[in-house]
Structure 1
Amino acid sequence: MAQIQDNTDIIQPTFLKLKETFNTHKTKCLKFRKAQLKSLLRGLEEMEQEFHTAIEKDLGVTLFSSQITSTIVTKADVENQLTHIDEWSKEENVDTPFVIGPGSSKIIYEPLGVVLVIAAWNYPLFTGIPPMAAAIAAGNCVILKPSEIAPHSSQAMYNLVTKYLDPSCYAVIQGGVEVSKKITTLPLDLIIFTGSPEKGKLVAKAASENLVPCILELGGKSPTIVDKDCNLNVTAQRIIQGRFTNAGQTCVACDYVFVHQTIKDAFINEMKTELKRFFGENPQNSNDYSKIVTEFHTQRLQELLKDHQGQVVLGGQVNVNQRYVEPTIILQPKIDSKLMTEEIFGPILPILLFENIDEVIQFINARPKPLALYYYGSNSKNKKLIEQQTSSGAIVHNDSVFHLLNPHLPFGGVGNSGYGAYHGITGFKGCSHAKPVFAKSTLNIYPFNIRYPPYTKHKLQTLSLFFKFAELPQRHVVNATLLVSFVVALKLAQKKGYLKKLFEISKPYVEKVWKQVNL
């Protein structure tokens, strides 16, 4: 397949067409949104084999890996949006403080407009279609820009959107660097970008010229902590899966491991055993081990293996022409080496040693905030310290990467690892404007008219009193007023003998009903 070509001429006309469609309010119709999501799901099912073939050509992954990391999880994400769209799109009634009442308050979730989704090459389908589905569910028009580094997947997504979605509302623009540069300069309403922190900064800078909000899902160096009381076998299996799936080309993969020094040898031996069981004696021949996406990235990883000054305890072999990097474990690399200062994004796992959890926390906090932080162990005190004293996009105990599959958890970074989030309701709301609507009653009697001049000492005192209880919802005030009024009415009725007369009048009827009930 030919390399994806840059064609910036189609960008402006495509954007204007989608902007025009959005202004007709076509995509705001809930029935229309649901029909598009259903059609998207049908397309994902009917084109499943086409996506498997494309991802295999781009990344060298097997059918099983393609299913569990791309097609199945992507369909599940779209299904989640479709299942909950009625619930999430409802108007949300909220309290009205008495001080600004009487009135009613609500939140309407309205679409933003035209949303640009820029997908990554490492998981082209999963980083492209789920955020697009969230934008569709929220009622937006969408432009999807796949990565040119995964050209077969890019073409497959173009085919999917072109065939199964309304072309007046949704489009795919393929292209390379020049297309990416120009498309981010458009006066869009939202950009959702998945990629490196360096590219994320460029996207945010371009977007800032038009004050376009962004959701940036970036990478970084996600740490893993292996405590002395961990289950070694389970820990090794899950770290290997999280680090070496897709040949380590995963934004939330553990980038380096802190291992308690008392279990160093046991951990390394367990990792060797499980790596051999996962991928065999020669991982290059394994159907379950992926290729590096390009020769350029293979050479980049080869460079990382040159000057780390650590001990290679496993692996280290590289074949640039075949885009192969052997699963590699390096003990105690130099802290200021490129291996420890740059995001690895490949099948290389540095191991550092620690004695006290405090030194690990200090190390993590001295560096940019990661997209994920993993802890293996059962020490509740250490878990709590990590949760309370570190900042990361997510914290995961005794697992790696799989927290991404929970649609009830937001997926996003913090600081250098990005900002904003999506997945589930977080994605729907992230692609919406929460528009507040306040409807004020025309009732304009005391005490509601004390807000107007001329101001007197009495008015100011009353206003000051109201603002002391500014958070008090008006429904509580109304309920309290009704209750007080009811009690006062009862007291007055009792005082004048009305209750006794009412009882005497109603007594025969009550006795008659009681007899009928007891028959």
Structure 2
Amino acid sequence: MAEPTIPPFETTALDAIPKIASTARGVFRTHKTKNLQWRKVQLRKLYWALHDYEPQLLAALKADLRKSAFEALLSEVDWLKKDCMFMLEHLDTFARDEKLRAPHVPAHYSILNFRIRKDPLGTVLIIGPYNYPVQLLLAPLVGAIGAGCTAVLKPSELTPHCAMVIKQMIEDRLDRDAFAVVNGAIPETNALMAEKWDKIFFTGSAAVGSIIARKAAETLTPVVLELGGKNPAFITKHANLALAARRLMWGKTMNAGQICMSHNYVLIEKDLVPMFIECLKQAYRDMFPEGAQKSPDLARIVNQRHFQRLKKMLDNTRGKIVMGGAMDEKDLYIEPTAVLVDSVNDPMMTEESFGPIFSIYPVHSLDEALNVANLVHRTPLSLMAFGSKKENERILNEMTSGGATLNDAYFHGAVNTVPFGGVGDSGWGAYRGKASFDCFTHFRTVAETPGWADGLLAVRYMPFDMKRLRLLNKLVDKKPNFDRNGKVVKGVGYWIGLALGLGAKGVKGALLRWAVVVLAHYLYKVRAGK
């Protein structure tokens, strides 16, 4: 079967970008995107577009990253079809007004009919990365459509075949005025950033993310930043080493390790290192019986620049390569590689690999491992922990990360319906599942005061009356059950409850319960000042 034809990469004209943005804003001002049926039609069209353009998308992913059809379907095309179905199934519930009741609204304000209305933010800009050029560009679009926004998409120029197929697909199937695709590199991105957006969603490097955030701040534009980080994997003496090695090998070979959640380094107790390395080698042999380069399943590095970046890390390391190490620049191939290091200042520890290479750093204890991880990157996008339940919970408690997976590699980010996002230096905001809808939605609090209620609310009108205010406070304010030192003070209700619940029987029990009631009555009189 012949490969589908993909048009050559074309850059969007700079002078066309202001009109593209203006058109999308104009469509939003017509209010038609607020109609749930319109949103559902666009989501259905996107679903069938993904289905019909599947051959072109698979061919583009193969051309840009040499992704196998299996991986391309699993993590990109089928993933997005599931996203569309999930949003369609739950959109009515997500978009429905939420009535606010106790404990959110005090009882004396319940007549005001407080509710949360879900409003679309407006026109949004979505900037995608190269590693998952289809999924990470269109998954936010599913949320934007569901929320009722219009959108302009900017695919990565590093995956030009995918960029052109996506442009063709979106313009062919969706509302062409509400949704558009701009192709290009830095000049086109700068032109897009010169426009006013209601939100910007960016996935990519921290360096570019900081530029996006600074530019957005000039116009008070909210941003979602899905960045990366030097992600740690912890392995303790209670771990199953063979299982940990197999699962971490999976995490570093999917998409040739070009995954923002994959581990940058492994922190492992020193005595376990030799056995862990042997387990890694066995996992390698199981996955690549004829070698990784001959495998039809392993993707390639996106381009020569990133190949050279990874090669430089391996060339400059002071550590020892204990698995892999082979490279072929013409093929953009780097073998899955593990490097044993002994310094946190080694390039394999200080730089984010974003490829099929990682370091192994021996430690003497979990205390040392946590100290190293917090020193290398205090807020990574993800962490992985292989150990006992107690050890894993301690790691979660003492290490901050965008997400975490226990006893596996980044499964917290491998399911399309659960929230995903970074924290601190690894990103701001979250999406996927309901979080995708929330990401592009303004949650507007609405109160509705009935005309007959004015007498009940008269205390607010001038001239003010302090007596009426004090009376109102007595009726509605709760008294603190704690003293000035923050200590909880047990009140009358506690002692009465204790008396009624005492288990002593007979005369002794009766006398004890009576004594507690008398004490409670005394405490009540003391507090009342009688």
The normalised TM-score by structure 2 is 0.85
**Structure 2 equivalent of residue 370 of structure 1:** 380
**Structure 2 equivalent of residue 14 of structure 1:** 20
Give the alignment partner of residue 440 of structure 2, picking from 431, 442, 463. Answer: 431
Match runs of 1:292-303 below 5 Å: 292-303=301-312
Rounded Cα–Cα distance in structure 2 between residues aligned with 1:185 and 1:205 = 12
Gaps of 5+ in 2: 1-6, 481-530
**Structure 2 equivalent of residue 106 of structure 1:** 115
**Structure 2 equivalent of residue 288 of structure 1:** 297
Q: What is the SS of the residue equivalent to 1:75? A: helix
Match runs of 1:179-190 below 5 Å: 179-190=188-199
CA RMSD of superposed structures (Å): 1.8
Identity %: 33
Q: What is the SS of the residue equivalent to 2:379? A: coil
Rounded Cα–Cα distance in structure 2 between residues aligned with 1:344 and 1:406 = 23
**Structure 1 equivalent of residue 30 of structure 2:** 24
Match runs of 1:400-419 below 5 Å: 400-419=409-428
**Structure 1 equivalent of residue 202 of structure 2:** 193
Q: What is the SS of the residue equivalent to 1:283? A: coil
1:228 aligns with 2:234: no
1:261 aligns with 2:232: no
Shift of 1:343: 0.9
Q: What is the SS of the residue equivalent to 2:200? A: strand
Rounded Cα–Cα distance in structure 2 between residues aligned with 1:10 and 1:86 = 36
Rounded Cα–Cα distance in structure 1 between residues aligned with 2:95 and 2:124 = 18
Q: What is the SS of the residue equivalent to 2:316? A: coil
Supply the AA of the counterpart residue of 1:78: C
Q: What is the SS of the residue equivalent to 1:309? A: coil
Give the alignment partner of residue 83 of structure 1, picking from 89, 111, 114. Answer: 89
Q: 1:14 to 1:197 in 2, by over 3 A?
A: same
Q: 1:427 to 1:123 in 2, by over 3 A?
A: same
Match runs of 1:376-391 below 5 Å: 376-377=386-387, 379-391=388-400
Q: Cα deviation per residue 1:159-178 (whole Å; 9 max; x = unaligned)?
A: 11011101111111111111
Q: How many residues align?
A: 470
Supply the AA of the counterpart residue of 2:262: A
**Structure 2 equivalent of residue 488 of structure 1:** none
Shift of 1:442: 2.6
Rounded Cα–Cα distance in structure 1 between residues aligned with 2:224 and 2:168 = 25
**Structure 2 equivalent of residue 356 of structure 1:** 365
Give the alignment partner of residue 121 of structure 1, picking from 106, 130, 134. Answer: 130
Q: Cα deviation per residue 1:219-246 (whole Å; 9 max; x = unaligned)?
A: 1111111122222222112101111211
Supply the AA of the counterpart residue of 2:347: K
Rounded Cα–Cα distance in structure 2 between residues aligned with 1:265 and 1:229 = 16
1:177 aligns with 2:186: yes
Shift of 1:271: 0.5
Q: 1:182 to 1:222 in 2, by over 3 A?
A: same
Contact 1:112 1:431 in 2 (8 A): yes
State which drifts further: 442-451 or 300-309: 442-451
**Structure 1 equivalent of residue 333 of structure 2:** 324
Contact 2:229 2:352 in 1 (8 A): yes
Shift of 1:92: 0.4
Contact 1:375 1:396 in 2 (8 A): yes
Q: 1:467 to 1:406 in 2, by over 3 A?
A: farther
Q: Cα deviation per residue 1:376-433 (whole Å; 9 max; x = unaligned)?
A: 12x1221111121211000111111332233442100000100000001111011000
Q: Where does structure 1 differ by over 6 angstroms across 4 or more consecutive aligned residues?
A: none
Contact 1:279 1:289 in 2 (8 A): no
Rounded Cα–Cα distance in structure 2 between residues aligned with 1:224 and 1:416 = 18
Contact 1:410 1:426 in 2 (8 A): yes
Rounded Cα–Cα distance in structure 1 between residues aligned with 2:451 and 2:468 = 20
Task: Determine which structure has greater relative contact order: mean sequence separation of CA pairs < 8 Å that are 6+ residues apart, divided by chain length.
Answer: 1
**Structure 1 equivalent of residue 99 of structure 2:** 93
Q: 1:420 to 1:373 in 2, by over 3 A?
A: same
Contact 2:459 2:465 in 1 (8 A): no
Supply the AA of the counterpart residue of 1:415: G
1:239 aligns with 2:252: no
1:154 aligns with 2:160: no
Gaps of 5+ in 1: 472-519
The normalised TM-score by structure 1 is 0.87
Shift of 1:321: 2.2
